Amino acid sequence: DTLGDWCMVADEACEEADWGYCKPQGFKATTCQDSPAGWVDAEGDNCGDYGINGYCTAQGDYGKDWDKSWGSFADFANQGHTAITACCNCGGGVDTSDQCKDKADWKDADGDTCASYSSAAWCDVTGQYGVGWHEEWGTFANYTKDGKTAFDACCACGGGTFSATPRPDESTTGVRARTTLLGCECKKEWQDEITGKNCNGFCCNPDQDPNGDWCYVKDWTCEDSDWGYCRDGRPNAEACADTPAAWIDSYGYDCSDYANLHFCTQTGGYGSGWKDDWGTFDQYWHDGHTAYTACCACGGGGSRDSGYDASCQDSQGWADSDGDTCGSYRDDQWCTATGGYGWGWHEEWGTFADHGAEMSAPQACCACGGGSSTNFKANPGAQGLERSSPAEHVTPSPPPDEARKTWNGCTCKKSWSEGNLACSSYCCNPDDDEFGNWCFVEDEDCEEASWGYCQPLGGNSEHGACTDLQGWADAEGDGCWSYQEGGWCNTDGTPGAGWESEWGGFVDYFSQGHSAATACCICGGGNRNNEAAGVTCSDTPSWKDPDGDGCAEYTTFKWCTSTGGYGIGWHEEWGNFGGEPTAAKACCYCGGGSSGAGRTEVLTATGSGSGPQQEARPTSTVSTGSKRFTWNDCACKKTWEMEQVGKCTGFCCNLDNDTLGDWCMVADEACEEADWGYCKPQGFKATTCQDSPAGWVDAEGDNCGDYGINGYCTAQGDYGKDWDKSWGSFADFANQGHTAITACCNCGGGVDTSDQCKDKADWKDADGDTCASYSSAAWCDVTGQYGVGWHEEWGTFANYTKDGKTAFDACCACGGGTFSATPRPDESTTGVRARTTLLGCECKKEWQDEITGKNCNGFCCNPDQDPNGDWCYVKDWTCEDSDWGYCRDGRPNAEACADTPAAWIDSYGYDCSDYANLHFCTQTGGYGSGWKDDWGTFDQYWHDGHTAYTACCACGGGGSRDSGYDASCQDSQGWADSDGDTCGSYRDDQWCTATGGYGWGWHEEWGTFADHGTEMSAPQA
């Protein structure tokens, strides 16, 4: 049980139930409250998890179930806290006894007091029911007294009355970590570089800064500087009045609600009543304000700045080029009410205009002297309305040995190793990755992967309205400066006068996800400021992808390129860009947005020397975030455990090496109709593609499913993340004239059957599920087998028969449906495909007969004058169950042949005359010059018990091929031997004769027919 230990009770009258959750030994009720509210550690475990799982003790020590191999509490710190500072049950939290008072003398309708609710754990301080409360008792409303429930009256239940006692001035050791106005964690101990004075308590003022305490920060990339003013040092206004007076948020809550329900603190923070899953105050913006600009109780109000006009409204939806809103400028003190720089603004950030879009903060924001009151014009005394020169605006370099970050802003491990790859300085490139340095990350939930490419060190090179890609150099080590100095490129992305034609194209020097044509301003690439460049591009207003990320995130984290392709910060396993439109169409940085004249010329220049011009890849309806789903679209549990198998902490795992791939325990068993399911690959969408040849396996025996499940390939036909380069190329594993990228749909191959097969019109099974359901949920596959999404306990498709048909009959995705007779093109082939045996096993091209010593250099030969014709040694003996076999094209022909059945047609509607006239086959049963490799094999067009090479004389078949053949005979329906081979296999592969004898395709070492029989063997069936 997720809530921990429980027991059956000795006295049901005492519990008013027959069971209850167990109170921890030594527990006593306190007035402690976890702080910050809703805290979780770096792995996502909350205070409740630490208590229930025995990770800590109430004395702040390690609990009995803490595994020492995990390291220390500090290794899992988050938001400046560990469990022993944030969690009451670990000895941390804050004492609220002097802040909250229960309603005097209150008792509920049963006479229970607030003390009873607290000690019995009937509720918690977040206003939820506690583990001691039984559902069958009803709600607290059933016990209302004097118009109040425990939620209203009791501090332990999130109610009571809070006093206005100020927070203690905790400026010495023993306090929680302090943060800057931007929420960046301060270093606990530091020395002022100018005065030389030491600070040992996070925030100090060694240089008597008139704006108050400040600190050096732990992570300079968070603050965009190595220091910042401390949040608790922010000045408060006296004699405050809520402004506007009747303000309400977008949900209808007013300032008194924010105060009484403890949604906020007087310093602008989130109060004990605010739930983490509600998001931020900004999400409830209304009428130009959030609570912490409008409400005194939340640090806002009309008199917080004497120059503030309460009737003013910010420019709706405005955000600067970094995605920061007017709320950020006001709340983080980046500006003054007259448009000047506030004490939260850092000089090295440049001017307001450097971060402006169509307008900058002094024009758009009321708090900065602009807004509707000035008709969105800057105050005459405003600062920073002009862009700074490159020399004035320098991005700071990180302190030496400072932790490095990935493009997704996630902290790299300082030392890491995997196999023979190792790094001891955050970012390395031990495997010569073409995209440059990378690292393993501290927090996989942050990166949504175990690793990421590193952000380069150093600053940007400015080109007026354009910024070169930070730290980029091509595969030869030449940066944008070299391209400029050497005259190697033009601004339209084509090669310049200094570029030598024998060097090839820019793409030949592709590095870090870019060529010069996309990385360098001088070559038509780089990151452009559209306003200054005179290019009118605007991101699609309010656009978000399915995970809630907007254009600002795609830009900041380098998830895309300016040509709409995937950027260096994007992970392949996340799938495709989500949403409609995708970022490639919605965001200027990604090559989209609403463009005016000139943008296409600048950002998508073409020419022989330009970089790879990637089109936006297909969108996916599957979230690219971390959540995973089964084939039945049921959500997986993130963390789950199964006895004798193990624990999974990342949604989908394969703890038992299941041959069908990753699986998970589901969050909703009613959705899956089972407690587990196989995981649908991220980015999957159902298609009308069919693997071809059907049943293809590579030279090692791996099939298309193996390539997909094991991550050997991508849907774009490239090598997947789990393909080991030491294995060689796909071509090294070719079989039947194909590799995975020509044969397999999930590797970008296969054939599109959308115009060949039609599902039975309007068919639904007995449960109302359509063919689309069977396809998308992977309940079947096109070979007529049950798919990975089908659960055995559901029975067979026959249990869901409707109108006399199952999905196997009605649905193309299940091997059924109706095929059209669209003509195939009469296209001649070039070259000779690899030859195969009767079993379809690929022949060696060159071999030597072990008996005669004669060589064969063309796949199939007859060096020993075998009366049955040409044969070969095979590449894969496990395919043939022998090291040799007779060649398919060497099969004997009968004379005086008649097509049998006389009117036979294949599943596409082609008859034997078509196979002859269009040169689809040869008279020896082989593939003719008109047959195309990507059509697969004759077997895929089986119909009415036959393929062309059993039915058609022109293809080596027909009724008189064996004088004993009776054309009216029908095979035993559905029969297959113990190996799964059907009567069609026995006939087509010449395993038997018409009198029940062994055919010339049968190998002696296979034993007898009976050895492979089931209820009957081939001579009977």
Tell me: the pLDDT tens digits for 575-607? 778 888 888 888 887 878 875 322 222 222 222
Percent of the chain predicted with pLDDT > 90: 3
pLDDT at 1018: 92
pLDDT at 28: 52
Percent of the chain predicted with pLDDT > 70: 80
State the Cα–Cα distance between residues 750 and 773, nearest whole angstrom.
22
CA nearest neighbour of 263 among 251, 276, 273:
273
pLDDT at 460: 36
> Taking the CA atoms of the chain, what radius of gyration do you get in angstroms?
36
State the Cα–Cα distance between residues 290 and 246, nearest whole angstrom.
13
Q: Does residue 27 sit in helix, strand or coil?
A: coil
The tens digit of pLDDT for each residue in 604-641 reads: 222 223 222 222 222 222 223 346 788 887 888 878 88
State the Cα–Cα distance between residues 391 and 386, nearest whole angstrom.
14
How many angstroms separate the Cα of 655 from the Cα of each of 245, 644, 650? 60, 10, 12
CA nearest neighbour of 475 among 451, 498, 504, 440:
504
User: Which H or E run includes 229?
Assistant: strand 227-229
State the Cα–Cα distance between residues 156 and 310, nearest whole angstrom.
38
Residue range 95-101: mean pLDDT, rounded: 70
pLDDT band at 111 (very low <50, low <70, confident <90, very high): very high
pLDDT at 395: 40
Residue range 795-811: mean pLDDT, rounded: 87
Structure tokens, 619: 């969108």
State the Cα–Cα distance between residues 449 and 440, nearest whole angstrom.
9
pLDDT band at 407 (very low <50, low <70, confident <90, very high): confident
Answer yes or no: are the C-beta atoms of 782 and 813 closer than 8 Å: yes
State the Cα–Cα distance between residues 541 and 258, nearest whole angstrom.
30
Structure tokens, 18: 């027959």
Q: What 8-state DSSP symbol labels residue 353?
A: G
Query: Which residue is listed with tokens 């303000």?
Result: 247
State the Cα–Cα distance between residues 998 and 991, nearest whole angstrom.
6
- Calculate the CA 821 to chain-centre distance: 41
How many angstroms separate the Cα of 552 from the Cα of each of 325, 556, 570, 588? 12, 6, 14, 10
Measured at the CA of 683, the angle between CA 677 and CA 685, to 5 degrees, comes to 80
The tens digit of pLDDT for each residue in 846-890 reads: 888 888 888 887 788 888 888 777 888 988 887 787 888 888 643
Mean pLDDT of the chain: 75
pLDDT at 688: 65
Cβ of 392: how many Cβ atoms within 10 Å? 12
pLDDT at 339: 84
Answer yes or no: are the C-beta atoms of 473 and 511 closer than 8 Å: yes
The tens digit of pLDDT for each residue in 205-263 reads: 888 777 777 888 887 777 777 888 886 433 333 356 777 777 888 777 888 888 777 78
The 10 Å CB-count burial string (b at 16+, else e) for 731-758 is eebbbbbbbbbbbbbbbbbbbebeebbe
User: Which H or E run includes 417?
Assistant: strand 416-418
pLDDT at 108: 94
Concatenated DSSP letters for 475-513? Answer: TTS-BHHHHHHTT-B-TTSSB-TT--GGG--GGGG-BTT
Residue range 59-76: mean pLDDT, rounded: 84
- Calculate the CA 161 to chain-centre distance: 45
Structure tokens, 231: 């949040």
Please, which residues have CB within 8 angstroms of residue 416's CB and are 6 or more apart in sequence?
422, 423, 439, 440
Whether residue 961 is predicted with pLDDT greater than 60 in this model: the reply is no
How many angstroms separate the Cα of 947 from the Cα of each of 103, 539, 901, 904, 972? 86, 57, 11, 9, 18
CA nearest neighbour of 524 among 503, 555, 498, 496:
496
pLDDT at 107: 93
